[in-house]
Amino acid sequence: MREGVGALGDRIAGGLLLVVAAVAWWLSHDFTSGFGQTIGPGAFPRLVSVPLGLLSLYLIIHPGVNQRWPERSALFRQLGLLVLLMIYAGLIQPLGFLPTALLTVTLMIRLFGATWRQALPFGGLLTVGLYLLFEFALGMPLPDMPGLNW
């Protein structure tokens, strides 16, 4: 039985996600934690990279039944999302979590079709919610903005 283009697309996506999972796992070991912290900042990327790697392997081995290739606009949005996440990873240390996450989350919301009027307030709320979740509820320190030490 001949597989369609959709199966090839699923395998390509699975391969790319497997690379992302491996790189996230590898780079998460460089995150340092403060003295006396039981869970360091590298725990979350490792926690996410394991299921991502397993699910991407499943996608490579058993591609889905969707036999159509995504439209060009959907491919550009997906590529834009990957580029945006790479920019986020590069800017989080020098700029800190709050401005980097605000920019990234707002642009992600825009990529999925929201207007600026919708994206800005919800991007701000999501950024603050993520900050509160990681910093206070989970006790995982996030990079501060330059000149701001809380």
Reported as a single tens digit per residue, the pLDDT across 35-59 is 656 666 677 788 889 999 999 999 9
Q: What is the DSSP letter of 24?
A: H
CA gap 88, 110 in Å, rounded: 15
CA gap 130, 124 in Å, rounded: 10
pLDDT (mean) for 70-86: 87
Among 34-43, 47-56, 72-81, 140-149, which range has the highest average pLDDT?
A: 47-56
What is the predicted pLDDT for the residue at 121? Answer: 96
Of 139, 143, 148, 122, which Cα lies nearest the Cα of 36?
A: 139
Q: What is the dihedral of CA 117, 120, 125, 129, to 10 degrees?
A: 150
Reported as a single tens digit per residue, the pLDDT across 88-121 is 988 988 898 999 999 999 999 999 889 999 999 9
